[in-house]
Amino acid sequence: MDNLQIERLRDCLQSFNFPRLFIEELGWSRPRGAKPVTLELPGQTWRATPIAELSGVVAFQVAGLPEKPERLAIHQRLSELAHENLVIFLDRADSPTQSLWLWVKREGSRRFPREHLYVRGQPGDLFVSKISGIVVDINELDERGGFPLARLVDRLKAALDVERVTRKFFKDYDAQRLAFVELIEGIPDERERRWYASVLMNRLMFVWFLQRKHFLDGGNGNYLSDKLAQSQRRGPDRFHAEFLQALFFEGFARTPDQRSDAARALIGEIRYLNGGLFLPHRLERDYGPAIRIPDVAFANLFALFAGYSWSLDDTPGGQDNEINPDVLGYIFEKYINQKAFGAYYTRPEITEYLCERTIHRLILARVNTENPFDLPIVSARKFQTLADLLLGLDASLCRELLDRILPELKLLDPACGSGAFLVAAMKTLINIYSAVIGRIKFLNDKWLSERLRKWESDHKSLAYFIKRTIITDNLFGVDLMEEATEIARLRLFLALVASAQTVDELEPLPNIDFNILAGNSLIGLLRVDAHEFDSRQDDLFRKSYRQVLAEKNRKIETYRHTVSWAGGMDLSALKADIEEHKAGAQATLNDLLLDQWDRAGIKFEEATWDTAKGKEGKPKKRKLNLADIEALHPFHWGFEFDEVLNQRGGFDAIITNPPWEILKPQAKEFFQEHSELVTKNKMTIKEFEKEQAKLLKNPDIRAAWLDYLSRFPHVSAWFRAAPQFRHQSAIVNGRKTGSDINLYKLFAEQCYNLLREGGECGIVIPSGIYTDLGAKGLRDMLFDENRVTGLFCFENRKEIFEGVDSRFKFVVMTFEKGGRTERFPAAFMRHEVAELTGFPGEIGLPLSVELIRRLSPDSHSIMEFKSEMDIRIAEKMLKFPLLGERIEGKWNLVLTNEFHMTNDSYLFKAEPGNERLPMIEGKMAHQFEVGYSDFRYWISEKSGRSALLGKQPDHGQLLDYQKYRCAFRRIARNTDQRTFIAMMIPRYKFLAESFNYVVSDSMGISEQVFLTALLNSFILDSFIRKMVTANLNMFFAYQAPIPRLTNSDPAFVPIVTRAARLTCTTPEFDDLAKEVGLKPLSPGAHYGVTDPVERARLRAELDGLIAHLYSLTEAEFAHILGTFPLVAEPVKIAALNAYRDVERGLIR
């Protein structure tokens, strides 16, 4: 699509000439029947006029803007005439000012309405980008003038699929980056050389975008390459030291009258931009003229850039080699390698959803008051959606939005990375601003018209001005990597420059160095005690904390809103002054933080090496010092953003995808940097330990390893002790939950800390937030102190996050700070990011917190329900007690495990021997069976007993390994064929930690066999699959509802008999068979059934009996069977037939 066609599309949109838009510009046909259709709804009559048709899809135009229920009803009636249709509602037949486009996506029997609003005066580029995918060229029609709808769908997918060009560019870019680093001289530290390469390449990519927009030196589209050639004619290797210094620090950073004559001659006609991007970087201040880079580095880089099409337009270019700012988001995330921190590139569908969900709710909450804006009570209104609000805009609403609501929003990403969420937030706000501004022109309001007239007279591009205002006043970010914050600022600058159509529309970039800052979001002072701060000041003439704060805020406000060298303002000097001012306060703030750590009793634990033993020694503890705190790069929220936190109570919205990494040493990741032999996932424990021992003989590697180990203990101790992270653990059954410290959990709680009351959070985190025992405290926080507004779970099967296991599950969650959660919408195990657009309305399943707590009274884990029937079945099952409940007069149990594969590995022998007993590992057993593979390890019975007894004396007492016992596999994914895998363990076998097993004084063998049958049933398996992800730990098992039947119950014996026949297939189970009352199948034969057909029959009968035990209907049981996609269909049919035979009395 060329620029001329884009302009024509824009003209059609702005004139509301939709028949011409579809037929002349989009290539659709005239409709076969152009007569208006009259639609009768209760109490209403509507007229819909067909305006265009393509492949059976008809576009209708309707005069009038009804409420959403009526809009959907009109679509439904029109579907009777044209199954696929697009309905465009106009606010009036003559001279319309608003249009709402409605299309309904179909997936089987489900419907997902999609609505898009366009208001006259709104910049058309974003809307053009939405409709450009349905352009059809005349040459693409067949001889009958038709166009295959499937091809249209494929084209839409292709237009949205940037992965191919993205990956190719990143590969080429990364190769050039590495080569560029090697050519830099004058910076001795390799890490700093890599950083400076990034700084330069970021600037140059920005300049490359500008030259492709023809914004440099009179419209030169080849500016950088031409200037490189001119520099080489003046002499070798002068481009960086001479030309780029002049371009960056005089051209973009100073107004023309402030530039030297030499600089003007070198760079030509360049627009002043500032914005911090073109102020000397810290590395440039530190190393200055010592930095040298040969011309060949730039020649190679420009050759790479020239191989791609660079576009800043909001509309799609359609070229296979196009690079735009959104694509650069992917590249930057990959380049800064955030995956090392457990962070990943977030797809735009997710960023857009979370920004719209949070920001829209904030605006609706401000507008939907009992008496908004001190208006007469009759004017009070409540809007259900933002689209409804924008459709109902009047002068008072427009004034309130422009004057108070929109400018005052403070939006934060505390793990901003390359700024994906900040860019998405800006786009969300610009859409709202655009709709409001478009509406103003038709309201005839003097105040609004004057405001708009002044904006348009002061700024040649209104869109540029609004974006600049949003970036300056609304957006804030923090990231541990300073390099990431630089990239985030660059992406916002690129998004801003995209609004300018001519060089005259370019204004200075916003100064947001103090909006987007580097630091550790999890460590630092949330609030600063002014008295404590002042007490640390030794000098009587030093300023008080309040004075320091006020001066800092005043200088930052001046810097933030300075757009030129007005009055000779030197931005570089002002920025340096602010940084010096902050550095003076930082030392005192760090000292206050050190005091907090000392009061918590936290020590620095320095890892040591025991030379005699050739392994790590006992850590040396010492008192923490200021250098230890400074090394953590603390971010003092109460100082840096005190106006937001102290004066406003917190941020209005936090939207983020924080790191998912566990805070503990990762040996394989560390040693991968030192040996190509170390692989993260393909080495056995023994293989890795052998390679690690070899590497640690190198003194440099050993010193680096010990330094690495020393970074963790004191930080972990702080996170466990800090009052701001009190929800990281909880009390379950009288014991404090303990687990590894996961950064996503810390960020979830920190978001809560940083929000104001009523603030909105949108966050992307692993599914452990709703399943893991260690997240129980966070769930209680979410339910008791917040209103959860959405929980959408993805399985990564479609590689939504690259480099993450396809079975991994993550959550897109939203919540509002304050109040309590009674019910919330949820969706689980989804695979397509496009489904977010239908959530929560079309696919959200309402869950009640009361049901969650009944299903999981200990951990409050959330089960993965997918339908109302799932909930109904769970309610039925809850009539029985949970396995972990202790009930007087009934059998009870506890679960435990035996030998740890790492901690107890000294006991393991690779060969059998006298008095050695085999150890069964999880992969050696399946439902009702043991012996799937050969034993790998044996343990001396004497040593095993000693380890199990610990400090207890051995009197020959009967231990668990000497008994028959019910056990189940711990490693069990809910996406496997089966999840609950239980069996009876033979006597005199040890168990690896991959099993949990039953210990009970009140259970006989029969009760354990009965329990084994229930755990292996489709009913219990389906129940537990809704809880677990990859680990069926004891707490999940304790939450299974189990009938406590015994031999006196009629349903007990039929189940035990069949389960025992499935178990007792070898002589080692003969005593068990006799115990439960089995008779040999024939004289001299075993007690168990080995024939596969007979075993399948018994399994089916068990499932039929157990389904009736839980009082399930046939439809409910069939529903459960349908949730096991990997189980063979004949197995499920047999189970359902057995259910029917039980009902008929044929199976007893």
Judge whether 578 lies within some domain: no
pLDDT band at residue 980 under the 50/70/90 scheme = very high
Based on the domain organization, do 132 and 249 belong to the same domain? no
Q: What is the pLDDT of residue 57?
A: 81
Flag whether pLDDT at 117 surpasses 60: yes
Mean pLDDT of 280-299: 93
Based on the domain organization, do 168 and 156 belong to the same domain? no
Q: Are 1069 and 965 in contact (CB under 8 A)?
A: no
Give, in order, the Cα–Cα distances in Å from 657 to each of 330, 339, 747, 799, 1005: 14, 12, 9, 16, 50
Based on the domain organization, do 1014 and 1115 belong to the same domain? yes
> What span, in angstroms and rounded, lies between the C-alpha atoms of 937 and 955?
26
Please name every residue paired with 620 in a beta bridge, in sequence order, or none if there are none: 606
> How many other CB atoms are found less than 10 A from the CB of residue 705?
22
Flag whether pLDDT at 1099 surpasses 70: yes
Which pairing describes strands 925-926 and 965-969: parallel, antiparallel, or unpaired? unpaired
Mean pLDDT, rounded, of the chain: 86
Judge whether 409 lies within some domain: no
pLDDT band at residue 569 under the 50/70/90 scheme = low
Judge whether 228 lies within some domain: yes
Residue carrying the six token digits 């904006």: 455
> What span, in angstroms and rounded, lies between the C-alpha atoms of 1017 and 1139?
13
Helix (H, G, I), strand (E, B) or coil at 103: strand
Structure tokens at 953: 């004396």
Judge whether 859 lies within some domain: no
**Phi and psi of 1041, rounded to 5°?**
-75, 120
Judge whether 933 lies within some domain: yes
Q: What is the pLDDT of residue 956?
A: 92
Based on the domain organization, do 154 and 213 belong to the same domain? no
Flag whether pLDDT at 339 surpasses 50: no
Please name every residue paired with 817 in a beta bridge, in sequence order, or none if there are none: 786
Structure tokens at 1029: 């992800």
**What percent of the chain lies above the pLDDT cut of 90?**
53
Q: What is the pLDDT of residue 361?
A: 95
Based on the domain organization, do 1089 and 1010 belong to the same domain? yes
Helix (H, G, I), strand (E, B) or coil at 896: strand
Q: What is the pLDDT of residue 1142?
A: 97
Give, in order, the Cα–Cα distances in Å from 760 to each of 350, 361, 423, 473, 757: 16, 8, 18, 18, 9
> How many other CB atoms are found less than 10 A from the CB of residue 128?
22
**Phi and psi of 1100, rounded to 5°?**
-60, -45
Task: Write down which residue in 160, 176, 203 finishes a domain.
Answer: 160
Domain count, the chain: 3
Provide the residue count of the chain.
1148
Q: Are 503 and 215 in contact (CB under 8 A)?
A: yes
> Of 723, 807, 724, 739, which Cα lies nearest the Cα of 773?
739
pLDDT band at residue 380 under the 50/70/90 scheme = low
Flag whether pLDDT at 6 surpasses 50: yes
Q: What is the pLDDT of residue 784?
A: 97
Q: What is the pLDDT of residue 176?
A: 87
- Tell me the longest C-alpha to C-alpha distance in the chain: 111
Q: Are 272 and 254 in contact (CB under 8 A)?
A: yes
> What span, in angstroms and rounded, lies between the C-alpha atoms of 325 and 282?
26
Flag whether pLDDT at 903 surpasses 50: yes
* Lowest-pLDDT range of 363-377, 764-778, 958-972: 363-377
* Radius of gyration in angstroms for the set of CA atoms belonging to the chain, rounded to a whole number: 34
Higher pLDDT, 1072 or 70: 1072
> What span, in angstroms and rounded, lies between the C-alpha atoms of 850 and 452?
51
Based on the domain organization, do 43 and 172 belong to the same domain? no
Q: What is the pLDDT of residue 161?
A: 34
> How many other CB atoms are found less than 10 A from the CB of residue 216?
26
Which amino acid, 525?
Answer: L
> How many other CB atoms are found less than 10 A from the CB of residue 578?
19
Q: Are 653 and 411 in contact (CB under 8 A)?
A: yes
User: pLDDT by residue (tens digit) across 992-1032?
Assistant: 999 999 999 999 999 999 999 999 999 999 999 988 877 88
Higher pLDDT, 1068 or 806: 1068
Mean pLDDT of 1110-1123: 96
Based on the domain organization, do 953 and 1062 belong to the same domain? yes
Mean pLDDT of 53-76: 86
Judge whether 46 lies within some domain: yes
Q: Are 1009 and 1076 in contact (CB under 8 A)?
A: yes
> What span, in angstroms and rounded, lies between the C-alpha atoms of 742 and 728?
9
Mean pLDDT of 908-928: 93
258 HSE (CA, 13 A, CB side)? 19
211 CB-near residues (< 8 Å, 6+ apart): 220, 221, 222, 223, 224
> What span, in angstroms and rounded, lies between the C-alpha atoms of 335 and 171?
10
Task: Write down which residue in 310, 335, 351 finishes a domain.
Answer: 310
> Of 728, 525, 721, 498, which Cα lies nearest the Cα of 632?
525
Q: What is the pLDDT of residue 990?
A: 96
* Lowest-pLDDT range of 334-348, 468-482, 1058-1072: 334-348
> What span, in angstroms and rounded, lies between the C-alpha atoms of 494 and 474?
17
Q: Are 736 and 726 in contact (CB under 8 A)?
A: no
Q: What is the pLDDT of residue 1075?
A: 95
Q: What is the pLDDT of residue 686?
A: 64
Q: Give pTM, 2 decimals.
A: 0.80
Mean pLDDT of 928-945: 90
User: pLDDT by residue (tens digit) across 36-64?
Assistant: 888 888 888 898 999 888 777 888 999 88
Judge whether 317 lies within some domain: no
Mean pLDDT of 1044-1056: 96
User: pLDDT by residue (tens digit) across 225-279?
Assistant: 999 999 999 999 999 999 999 999 999 988 888 899 999 999 999 999 876 788 8
Q: For residue 547, count CB atoms less than 10 angstroms from its CB and return exposed for 0-12, middle for 13-18, buried for 19 or more.
A: exposed
Based on the domain organization, do 110 and 181 belong to the same domain? no
Q: What is the pLDDT of residue 572?
A: 77
> Of 834, 999, 743, which Cα lies nearest the Cα of 350?
834
> What span, in angstroms and rounded, lies between the C-alpha atoms of 130 and 654?
27
Please name every residue paired with 847 in a beta bridge, in sequence order, or none if there are none: 824
Q: What is the pLDDT of residue 1085?
A: 72
b or e along 662-692 (b: 16 or more beta carbons within 10 Å of the residue's beta carbon)?
ebeeeeeebbeebeeebeeeebeeeebeebb
Judge whether 655 lies within some domain: no
* Lowest-pLDDT range of 80-89, 286-295, 734-743, 1019-1028: 734-743
Q: What is the pLDDT of residue 132?
A: 53
> What span, in angstroms and rounded, lies between the C-alpha atoms of 417 and 335?
11
User: pLDDT by residue (tens digit) across 465-476?
Assistant: 999 999 999 999
User: pLDDT by residue (tens digit) across 199-225?
Assistant: 898 899 889 988 888 889 988 888 999
Residue carrying the six token digits 């004396």: 953
> What span, in angstroms and rounded, lies between the C-alpha atoms of 1088 and 1014?
18
pLDDT band at residue 453 under the 50/70/90 scheme = very high
Higher pLDDT, 136 or 1033: 1033
Q: What is the pLDDT of residue 164?
A: 45
**HEC secondary structure over 599-610:** HCCCEEEECCEE
Q: Are 395 and 448 in contact (CB under 8 A)?
A: yes
Structure tokens at 316: 């799609």
Based on the domain organization, do 18 and 98 belong to the same domain? yes
Q: Are 1012 and 984 in contact (CB under 8 A)?
A: yes
User: 348-367 and 420-440 helices cross at what angle (nearest 10)?
Assistant: 50
175 CB-near residues (< 8 Å, 6+ apart): none
User: pLDDT by residue (tens digit) across 748-804?
Assistant: 999 999 999 999 999 999 999 998 888 999 999 999 999 999 999 988 888 788 778
Based on the domain organization, do 942 and 1087 belong to the same domain? yes
Based on the domain organization, do 89 and 217 belong to the same domain? no
Vertex 584 angle, CA 191 and 190, to 5°: 5
Helix (H, G, I), strand (E, B) or coil at 760: strand
Q: What is the pLDDT of residue 316?
A: 31
Task: Write down which residue in 160, 177, 200 finishes a domain.
Answer: 160
Higher pLDDT, 327 or 261: 261
Based on the domain organization, do 49 and 127 belong to the same domain? yes
Ordered DSSP codes for 286-338: HHGGG-B--HHHHHHHHHHHHTSEE---SS----TTEE-HHHHHHHHHHHTTG
Flag whether pLDDT at 314 surpasses 80: no
Q: CATH number, domain at 1018? A: 3.90.220.10
* Domain residue limits at 51: 3-160
Higher pLDDT, 12 or 820: 820
> What span, in angstroms and rounded, lies between the C-alpha atoms of 190 and 156?
44
Structure tokens at 241: 């030291």
> What span, in angstroms and rounded, lies between the C-alpha atoms of 76 and 104?
10
Higher pLDDT, 506 or 317: 506
